[in-house]
Amino acid sequence: MQIKRRAIKDIKISIVIPSYNEEKNVQVLANKLVDILKDYYDYEIIFIDDGSTDNTLSELKDLNKRDNKIHYISFSKNFGHQNALRAGLDCITGDCAISMDADLQHPAELIPQMIDKWAEGYNIVYTIRKENKKDSFFKRKTANIFYGIMNYMSGLRLEKGSADFRLMDKSVVKVLRNFKEMNIFYRGIASWLGFKQYGISYFPNERLHGETKYTLRKMALLAFNGITSFSILPLQISTVLGATISFLAFSYGIYAIIIKIVANKAISGWASVMVGIFFLGGIQLLMLGIIGNYIGKLFLEAKRRPNYIIEETSLS
């Protein structure tokens, strides 16, 4: 049932759309959004061209010429989806911000419902993607595993299928602007923030044009980054594992001494020694890797580099 809507022109909705090589999608999406919003709200639509190598930027300039409420921010190179989101949130001037993908997988039709929930007093309205049978089995399974591990390790309650399609009140956006961490992971942060939150489910559309930019490598990086941004559990696991193995090795040493004294039997076996050495070596390298990763993060944070560089923008 369609709720009867009255025009509330003094409310301004900001829409933030990271776009990386989406030349065929941005116009379609912009038209759709304008149709949905124009009669009811004041709006601004901010596209972030994340260093696209196709005609995305000229398409965006076209849009801006036609409608001065549609803006673009163009990065000097590809800084990644999350940084594009950040740039958008840094620039919005509306009363709330809605972030969504450029490929029309996030149904714009859901926006009025999200705004209604916000008007009811929820500070964050997030969306939950229902399983899309058309997504490959592999993508669905890896996504499930990711959310399982992520929640377990970080103590967050990220719902499976949560994506970066969400509405946030401007007060929440203000809080987010103070998060200066590199490699920000908005999905986790939004859940961690608290506030009054509401979730809406939807079935995703198919990507209109182009291909997914989340290759397996990017997904794995995002997952690993998500986990190590929110949790030091891997470090704790390595401590426990180290302690357990040391204890077992120590017990085995005692056993070897006792058997030597009591039964005067030397323990023979070259293989068992080698297995032990390799096993411990492997574990040590693994743990060093985990620790190194956290140190790497500290290193990146310590440099305090900017998270994105804007080459040109239609925003003043």
Query: Which residues make up the interface to ligand UDP (CB under 6 A)?
Result: 18-20, 22, 50, 78, 80-81, 84, 101-103, 105, 212-214
Of 8-16, 94-102, 155-163, 222-230: span binding Mg ion (CB under 5 A):
94-102
Task: Please report how close the Cβ of residue 21 comes to Mg ion at its closest, in angstroms.
Answer: 12
Of 4-12, 75-83, 93-101, 241-249, the window that binds Mg ion (rule: CB under 5 A) is 93-101
Cβ atoms of residues 47 and 70 within 8 Å: yes
81 binds, among Mg ion, ligand UDP, none (CB under 5 to 8 A by kind): ligand UDP
When CB distances are held under 5 to 8 angstroms depending on the partner's kind, the choice from Mg ion, ligand UDP, none that residue 32 binds is none
Distance CA(236)–CA(22), nearest Å, equals: 42
Query: CA-CA distance, 73 to 49, in Å (whole number)?
Result: 6
- Among ligand UDP, Mg ion, none, partner that 19 touches (CB below 5 to 8 angstroms by kind): ligand UDP
Chain residues 95-114 in contact with Mg ion, contact rule CB under 5 A: 101, 103, 105
Indicate the residue among 95 and 103 with the shorter CB distance to ligand UDP: 103
Q: What's the rounded Cα separation, in Å, for the pair 249 and 26?
A: 61
3-class state of residue 69 by DSSP = coil
**Which one of Mg ion, ligand UDP, none is in contact with 95 (Cβ closer than 5 to 8 A by kind)?**
none
Are the C-beta atoms of 211 and 27 separated by less than 8 Å? no
DSSP designation for 178: T
CB of 274 within 8 A of CB of 49?
no
Contacts of 185 (CB under 8 A, 6+ apart): 82, 222, 225, 226, 229, 230
- Closest approach of Mg ion to the CB of residue 206, in Å: 9
Enumerate binding residues for Mg ion (CB under 5 A).
101, 103, 105
